[in-house]
Amino acid sequence: MADYDIVIRGGTVGSSAGTFEADVGITGDTVVALGRNLGAGKRNIDAKGKLVLPGGVDAHAHIEQLSGMGVMGADNFESATGAAALGGTTTVVCFAAQHKGKSLTKVVEDYHVLAKRGAIIDYAMHMILADPNARVLKEELPALVKSGHSSIKLFMTYEHTKVDDEQLLDTLVAARENRALVCVHAENNGMISWMGRRLVERGYRDPRFHGPHHPRLCETEAIYRLAAFSELIDQPVIVYHVSTAEGAKVIREARGRGVKMFAETCTQYLTLTVDDLVKPGLEGAKWVCSPPLRLQSDQEALWHALEIGDLQFVSSDHAPYRFDATGKLRAGPEPSFKEIANGMPGLELRLPLLFDAMVSKGRYGIEQFVEWTATAPARMYGLSPRKGQITIGSDADICIWDPKRRTTISDAGVHDNTGYTPYAGRTIEGWPVTVLRRGEIIADDGKVKASAGSGAFLPRDPGEAAKPTGRLSPEFDETRNFGAKLY
C-alpha cells in the first residue's frame, strides 16, 4: 500500500529561508511530508540533480481584460494560464476591470465566468475601480471584499481607467473601512498627455518616443503623491511596476517615515532597457509598456531596492497585445507612439528569466528567487501559507527545475497568444521541467497536461499588509470626528 499519492524524490527543496535535501510527500492536493527516504508513493518522481521549488505566484497579470486604453488583450484564460504553467507559475492574481458607469459586482461576476471556464492554474482577482462613486464604494465594495476579492487596483493615468486625486482618496478610505489593500499604477497623467502632445506636434512619432512620453518624473511625482495620500488616510498601498531609481527612493523615504507602502517591480524593468525600443520602423512597438523601459542604472537600483526590502516582489504585468490590428497596431498601420497598445507578455517567462538573471548568473541565491517570485507575493496578498511555499499543509504547487537546462527563447517557443516575445534570441539557463498544481501535474517537458477550467478561485482574506498602522493623521481624523461626509 502506498503511503502517498506522489513522492518527489531526491531533489533539493528550496524556500525563502534556505535549501535542503528532502523528498516531498503529497496526498490529494496537499504537501503532507518532507524528509529523507519517505515511504512509497503511488507515483514517484525522480528529482535527483533537480531543484524542487514552490510554484510561482504572479500577482499582476492582465488576462482576458479590456485595457485602460480600451484594447482587449490577446490571451484568454486558457492560453494565458497554460503558458504560465509551462513557465512554472501556478497562481495568478488577475484583474476584474470595471470601466466607467459599470457595476463592479457585475464586472466581478462576469470575470468569474471567464476564469472558471479557462483557468489552468489557480487564480485570485484584484478589482480595478475606474468609477469609484459612492454607490460602488458603499454598496458594492463591502460584499465583494467579504467574498474574497480583497485588493483594489487604481490607475493614476490611462484614458479609460484613471481616477483623480479625490477619487483616489475616497477609495483609500473605503479600502481602510473594508480592510482591502490598494494597488496603484502611479504615473502623473497630465505630464504624460502634455509630453505626448508636444512630441507629436513636433513630428516625433516612432515607438522610441514612448520613453520621453512618460518622463521619469511622472513616476517620481505620482509615487510621492500616493505616499502622501496613504499617510493621510493611514491606508496601506502597493506601488505597481516601479521602474526608476528615483521611484524606489521615494518609496524608501515613505517607508522610513512609517508609511505602509509596499512595491513590486517587473521582469522587464530588471532585464530589458530603453535601448530595446530603438528598432527599425514600428518593431519597437513590441517593447512599448508603461512605465517605459528605463536604463541599466535603474536595473541596478531596482535589484538593490529588492535586496534591502523597499520593493518586496517581482511580477510580470503580463499585458499581451499582438503585433497587428487587434493589438499594438489597432490605430492603423502607422500609429504614433501614443496610439500603440501598452504592455508586453510575461507570464510564461517571468520565472525562467529571473532564475537565469538571479541564480544561474550567481547574483542571488535560491532563497531570494523563491521569496521574490512566490513567497512574498503570496504573503502580501493573503494567499499564505496555502501558496508560495512548500510546507506541510500547503497546496502541492511545485516546480521541478533543471538548473542547467539551456533554452534559447524564440517567438515560436512561447505559448501565449501574443505571437512574439520581447526576449527572443536570449539564451537562459534553468527551466521548470515539471509543474504540479494542487498535486496534479499540469505541465511536463513543454506540454500542458491539465484541462481548461481546472484552476480554482482563491478567495482571500486581506493579508497582514492590508492592516493600517493605527497612526491616522490628525487632519484626516478631524474630518471623521466632525462627521464630515467623505463621499
Q: Could you list the residues that contact ligand URP (CB under 6 A)?
A: 62, 67, 185, 289-290, 317, 319, 342-343
CB of 319 to ligand URP, least distance (A): 3
**If contact means CB under 5 to 8 A according to the sort of partner, which of ligand URP, Zn ion, none does residue 299 touch?**
none
How many Å apart are CA 399 and CA 89, to the nearest integer? 8
What crossing angle do the helices spanning 216-233 and 245-256 adopt, rounded to 10°? 20
If the CB atoms of residues 111 and 369 are measured against ligand URP, the closer one turns out to be 111
Q: What are the backbone dihedrals phi and psi of residue 92, each rounded to the nearest 5 degrees, phi first?
A: -130, 145
Stretch that binds Zn ion, among 43-51, 178-186, 376-384, 403-411 (CB under 5 A): 178-186
If the CB atoms of residues 32 and 72 are measured against Zn ion, the closer one turns out to be 72
Q: Is 412 exposed, middle or buried (0-12, 13-18, 19+ CB in 10 A)?
A: exposed
If the CB atoms of residues 343 and 455 are measured against ligand URP, the closer one turns out to be 343
**If contact means CB under 5 to 8 A according to the sort of partner, which of Zn ion, ligand URP, none does residue 342 touch?**
ligand URP
CB of 370 to ligand URP, least distance (A): 25
If the CB atoms of residues 24 and 251 are measured against ligand URP, the closer one turns out to be 251
**If contact means CB under 5 to 8 A according to the sort of partner, which of ligand URP, Zn ion, none does residue 140 touch?**
none
How many Å apart are CA 78 and CA 312, to the nearest integer? 29
Residue with C-alpha cell 494542487? 438
**If contact means CB under 5 to 8 A according to the sort of partner, which of Zn ion, ligand URP, none does residue 289 touch?**
ligand URP
Asked if residue 162 binds Zn ion (CB under 5 A), the reply is: no
If the CB atoms of residues 159 and 307 are measured against ligand URP, the closer one turns out to be 159
Strand intervals (E) in 171-269:
181-185, 237-239, 261-266
CB of 27 to Zn ion, least distance (A): 37
- The residue with its CB nearest to Zn ion is 185
DSSP state of 230: H
Residue 410 corresponds to which cell in the numbers above?
A: 524564440
CB of 436 to ligand URP, least distance (A): 29
**End-to-end CA distance of the chain, in Å?**
63
CB of 315 to Zn ion, least distance (A): 8
Among 23, 221, 317, 416, binds Zn ion (CB under 5 A): 317
Residue with C-alpha cell 501565449? 416
How many Å apart are CA 93 and CA 381, to the nearest integer? 9
Q: Residue 33, SS3? A: strand
Stretch that binds Zn ion, among 181-189, 279-287, 423-431, 438-446 (CB under 5 A): 181-189
Half-sphere exposure of 167 (CA within 13 A, CB side): 20
* Among 179, 153, 147, CA closest to 65: 153
Question: Interface residues with Zn ion (CB under 5 A)?
Answer: 185, 317
